[in-house]
Structure formats: C-alpha cells, structure tokens
Amino acid sequence: MKNEYVLLSIEKNVGVITLNRPEVGNALNLEMAQELMEVAIHCSESDEIRAVVITGAGNKFSVGGDLKSFANEGNEISSHLKSVTAYLHQAISYFARMNKPFIGAINGVAAGAGMSLACACDLAYASEKSKFVMAYNKIGLTPDGSGSYFLPRIVGIRRAFDLMYTNRMLDADEALEWGIVNQVVSENELMSVVLELGEDLANGPMEAYGATKKLFYHSLQETLESQMSLESQLLAERANSTEGKEGISAFLEKRKANYKTK
C-alpha cells in the first residue's frame, strides 16, 4: 500500500503496520486515522496476511491525538473530531473483529489514543523504555479509540479511574504488573520477539482465533448460561470445520497441524 502515515509491509504472512509520523511522535491526525482504517480493512481481507503487528516509527509508539491539528479547526473542532474518530474507531473495530491475531509492539510512549490502541491489541509487548498514560482528563477530554472499553476490562474499574483522573504514567514494568502488556523486552529485541510470535501465530488456526475473540468480547455482556450456550455452539462448529478436523487429526497422529491448507 502507498500510504504516507500508516505503512504496511508483509513478512512471512505477518502484516506489519507502522504508524509513520515520527517527527510528531506518531500523533494521530485525520489523514493518519483514514489511512489506519484503510490498512485495517486490507489486513482483515487479505488472504496473505494471517497475523498483524502494529508499532510506531522512531522512538515512540504514539503520543495520541494531534492536538495542534485539532485546535487549528477552530469552531469546527467538534465535527473534525467526529471525522477523526469515525476512521479510528472503524479501524479498531476491524482489528478486533478480524480472525487474525492483533499484536502490539509498543516501542516507546503510548499516550491518549496511543494507549487506547495498545489496549485494543489482542497481545501487547513493550520495550523497556515504553511508558503508558491516558492523558485525556488532564486536558479536559475523555477517552476515544476504545480506551473506555478495553482499559477497565484489562485493569479493573478502580485502576482505570486512577489512570484517568490522576494522569498516572506507568513505566513498562508497571504496565506488565497491571496486565496492560504481556511481556517487556529490550528495545533492540522488541520487533524480533514480536515478529517471531506473529510468524508462529500466522501458522495457527485463524478461524479458531476469530471465534475465541468473539467468545471473549461477548463474555461480559452475557449470563453464565447464555455464554456457555455460545461456547457449546462455537465448539461444535469448530470441531466440524476444516481447521478442527485437521487439529484433531494432527493431535491423534502426533504430528504438527497444517492450518494453511484449505
């Protein structure tokens, strides 16, 4: 893809998304939000891409919204932000709903919408120099980019309020302790570790990944019985699918499953 602010490359069935405005800390403006949505659609539809990694150019993941560009809109700032968030939110929806694993390689500061985007990843790995801050309330704003959905689910409601009200900044080790990231690795090793994980997951059962996402995202709005009913339905469907039959056969035959053939 020939985007300017959101780059996409493909390595061994892993789509690598790079937020590419390093001169402003990969701050999100209208153009970046639109390109992110376009890349999300491509990733969700591409047969070649079986796992997706997102990171930032330079030494930051994303400092969040480009407040200067927003302020330049003057009295039109409200309508402008509705456009920005329309693209951003549609992108995150595609990432969340696609069957493919969505992995964050958080290579520096993740603030505001940047932290929201990190929280929206299925898995998140952080460099030892990364920092996380919600930042919204400090400037009189409220979260976007799915932050109000994922953050309380990850850290709990009390800690989510703490991060919002106090503008508390977490370093990489604190983010790991709070469950915001899965692992902290050195800055030099971050991309190699994440790409190795992405390549491993790209060889896995994508439709099963997607069904698992569906189960997890539904779980907090269902009763115990309705959630178990959904589990039963999806389990039966997966067992009779091409992936399920291959996985069961491979287990019984004591060989590695091949999920890339249909």
Residue type present at position 180: I
Closest CA to 229 of 218, 241, 240: 218
Contact 91, 33 (CB under 8 A): yes
Burial (Cβ within 10 Å: 0-12, 13-18, ≥19) of residue 23: exposed
Contact 241, 99 (CB under 8 A): no
- Residues identified as active-site: 89, 144
* Strands ordered across the beta sheet of 131-133: 109-111, 131-133, 170-171
Sign of torsion, CA 134 89 155 208? negative
| Nearest-angstrom CA–CA distance, 14 and 2 | 18
| Nearest-angstrom CA–CA distance, 41 and 29 | 19
